[in-house]
Amino acid sequence: MTRYEKGANFERELVAKFWEHGWASMRAAGSGTTSFPVPDVIGIKDNKIIIVECKTTKKDRLSLKKDILALKKFSGICNGNAYIAIKFYKKGPRFFDLNKLLSKGDYTITIHDQFLDLESILGKQKTL
């Protein structure tokens, strides 16, 4: 399976999970090929927006400055809650809150960093 296929499958998996939890969701076609800061997955429910940039890796760390800054720009325009979702090798999806990443000022995410799961970010939206 190619890197593209792994990433696309991860994005499709997240879209399906959003729908299972009652969110309207879509995968942004060509998100990695446009010059605009387009995220990979967008979920909407009850006027709340979650935007997600997805990554898969066999490494135990990723440096994502470009992706984090692009996600910041998009979330600033749509006022959505933004996350980087990483599927580390043989691990489930891990979600990293964009605001926390920006506040720590470090654009590297490791397999040892604190993370949220999908249910946490969807449940968090109920309390906003």
Residues designated catalytic: 31
C-alpha torsion angle, residues 83, 86, 91, 94 (rounded to 10):
-10
Q: Nearest 5°: CA angle at 95, between 99 and 105?
A: 35
Largest CA distance in the chain: 39
Among 115, 114, 61, 53, which residue's Cα sits nearest to residue 84? 53
Beta strands in 21-120 (DSSP E): 24-27, 41-45, 48-57, 61-63, 81-88, 94-97, 108-110
